[in-house]
Amino acid sequence: MRKYKAYYVFLFLCAFLCQSGLAQTTLIDSLQQVLQNSPNDTNRVNILSTLSRKLIQKETEKALTYAREGIKLSKELNFENGRIMCEAQVATIFYFQAKYHQAADYLTRVLSYYRKEGQTKFQIQTSITLGTTYEKLGRFDEALEILQEALQLANDIQYKRALPYCINNIANVYLRKAEYDKAISSYQKAVELYESAQPDQNLANTYRNIGIVYKLKGDYDQALQYFYKALELSERLARPVYLSEVWNSIGTVFTELNRPDKSKAAFQKALAYLDRETPSKRLYNIYINLGKSHFFSNELDSALYYYHQSLSMSDSLEGFLSKGVLFNNIGNVYLKREAYRTALDYFHRAIEADSLIENEENTGRTLMSMGKSYLLIGDYTQSIKYLSSALEIVEKIGAKQIKSNTLKYLSEAYRKNEDTEKAFDYFQRHVAVKDSLFNKATAAKIDELIFDHETTKKQQKIKLLEQSRTNQKLVQHRLWIILIATSLIGVLIFLYQGQRIRNIKQRETLLDIQKNLLELQMLRNQMKPHFVFNALTSIQNFLLLKDNPKAIHYLSEFAQLMREMLENTEKDFISLEDEINYLNRYLKLEQLRSNNQFSSEISIAENLIPEDIFIPNLLLQPIVENAIWHGVMPLKKEGKISIRLTRENGLLKIAVEDNGVGRKFKKNNLHQSKGLHLLKQRIEMLNKEKDLGIHWFIQDLKDQRGQASGTLVGLTFPL
């Protein structure tokens, strides 16, 4: 008995070490030492189960070995609770390895035990995992049944922690079944429960899932809104694997919007968070999506490369719903290459894969592709057969986009088959479905406008009736007094408001004049005659030296710089991408003008998307010019200018740093003082007029000896 007490004290200390945040390795090592001297009793089973649980993420095979040893010993000891504990660990390991069939077998036995023993909380937890496993296997009806049972139990015993998990997984099943409205409704309920607690990765994942549903519905603005919410929360929580999933989802939206450059960039960011050497569901899906992006760019070789990357790892993964999608995608590449027989082979494989998991949407899409293939081959009977089967499925599930295309191909097949009556009928149906895809939103907006208009009219009538009743109750002799008083007050208000409006207009006019003068001064400061003259002189030198390519290149750069300069002055704000392009051209010309007396670099943080960020115009170039002509040009060595753009705590931070002589080198530097004075006035006016919250500073840099080693100018903009 003392031996058992000592063991329990040791387990308590291990648990305390774990909860205190001390090294996990120490705990595992200690348990393994105890295991070596532990007799074959129930305590040994407990140690084996604990070790298995601690090693699932780090050493999966070792965790599986411990769990199986625990099962074997539990059976010998007739220790039923220990056996179930270890079988639950085996199920968890198989789930993480994507071996969903084996996981489901173990989970079914574990759930049966908890039901029999009346251990309700364990029953709910196991039901959630089993329901998720069924969803991965495409057994949607079984998944819904068991998850709804878990939800009912959690409500009955007020197990609040489990409620959002039940609802979220039910929504996942609706998403797989393409019942999008039910999915969004369930996800929103889960969001309410997650948001009422401390925001965590579960909330971020639910945001992402809502974005996926909106993407499938074609509402890309809403989809991106939720994906960016998920991205922001995952970044705050510093979860690389989930950041990979969010970037993958963002990339799929850009693919749908036919913006391949942005989609490929998003997928590459997703890959950066993963180990490319280890097959995983996330890596599998990213390669498929990269393939689609290249397919839409008509880069068919690259598309096939990524599809086959996914295919090569698919044998080591089990239960993924997208395997049929993968075969369908490969088939479409060969269809585009007019290799119809090869395409049909892959379409047949897609149908076979989808039949195992009830993926009706992809089955309908694949049957449509097969019908299209036979249409292009000239076998119109087979084409009509497969297209009719596709139409039957997509009409049942309500996939309008696939239905529209299927009707179009059916019309063409009947036309080729010289059945003009059916061809015309299917074409009319195609037009009707196509119109419904685009006119539904417009009709809803018109209905909303009509409703708003009628509501406003009714409110006006109600006000008139109330005013009429009030007037009737007034005594006649007091009516004149009220009218006179009202008239006098009205006149006074009119006079006061007139004067106030004139004052406001005068102030606005003055502000506009000041703003325009400042912008004109900033523009004149940019287009100084000696800059223009020297740039053209440098280009002329190239012409005299008969270096026509360089002359043409720099003349083109100079012309583009002038054009951008004039275009930007017409805008209050320009994109950060345009500003960076402008600065690059300006720096090139200044380097030419100074015989490459300095070098420059512009670095952009990975979490910045320059084309999506807008800043006021006419701000950065004067800072860069001061760095060149009053920083690095007086140097006797090569100068360097560094421009860094970062994002931190919701702020865009821009730093312009040079290794020049510093501000004290020229005390009588009137041009620099004027440039900085104009910049200060410009920022003050922007903050006052538009409440932008721009801050800036100048820092004198010094070396280890305390000598001037350059200047740093910083700007911050709220995003």
Q: Residue 407 half-sphere exposure, CB side, CA atoms within 13 Å? A: 19
| pLDDT given at position 325 | 85
Average pLDDT over residues 77-90: 90
Percent of the chain predicted with pLDDT > 70? 78
| Mean pLDDT on 44-48 | 87
Q: What is the mean pLDDT of residues 623-633?
A: 85
* Distance of alpha carbon 518 from alpha carbon 638, whole angstroms: 34
Average pLDDT over residues 460-477: 58
Which residues span the domain enclosing 590?
512-718
Q: How far apart (Å, rounded) are the C-alpha atoms in residues 448 and 522?
A: 47
Is residue 632 a part of any domain in this protein? yes
Please tell me the predicted confidence (pLDDT) of residue 531.
63
Compute the mean pLDDT over every residue in the chain, rounded to the nearest whole number: 79
361 is a domain residue: no
Q: What is the mean pLDDT of residues 5-14?
A: 41
pLDDT band at 25, cuts 50/70/90? low
Buried (b) or exposed (e) across 591-615, using 16+ Cβ within 10 A? bbbbeeebebeeebeeebebeebbb
* pLDDT at residue 11 greater than cutoff 50: no
What DSSP designation does 612 have?
Answer: G
CATH of the domain at 521: 3.30.565.10
pLDDT given at position 428: 86
- At 144, the pLDDT band (50, 70, 90 cuts) reads very high
Q: In angstroms, rounded to a whole number, what is the distance separating the alpha carbons of residues 446 and 542? A: 63
Q: Is residue 664 one of the residues assigned to a domain?
A: yes
Q: With a cut of 60, say whether residue 319 has pLDDT above it.
A: no
> φ and ψ at 648, to 5 degrees?
-150, 125
* Residue 442 vs residue 317, higher pLDDT: 317
CA distance 90 to 64: 6
Residue 39 has pLDDT above 90, yes or no: no
Helix (H) / strand (E) element for 219: namely none
Count how many domains the chain has: 1
In a domain, 656, yes or no: yes
Average pLDDT over residues 480-504: 67
Residue 236 has pLDDT above 60, yes or no: yes
| Residues 262 and 274 sit within 8 Å (Cβ to Cβ) | no
pTM of the model: 0.49
89-93, 279-283, 651-655, 662-666, range with the lowest pLDDT: 662-666
pLDDT value at residue 471: 57
Confidence of residue 136 (pLDDT cuts 50, 70, 90): confident
Query: Is there a domain that residue 631 lies in?
Result: yes
pLDDT 10s digits, 674-705: 666 777 777 887 777 777 788 888 888 888 88
pLDDT tens digit string along 443-454? Answer: 343 234 334 433
Report the range of poorest mean pLDDT among 13-27, 147-161, 284-298.
13-27
Residue 525 belongs to some domain of the structure:
yes
Residue 602 has a pLDDT of 92
In-domain check, residue 680: yes
Over residues 373-414, the pLDDT tens digits come to 998 999 999 989 999 988 888 777 666 667 888 899 999 899
Show the tokens assigned to 619: 């701000």
Give domain status of residue 69, yes or no.
Answer: no
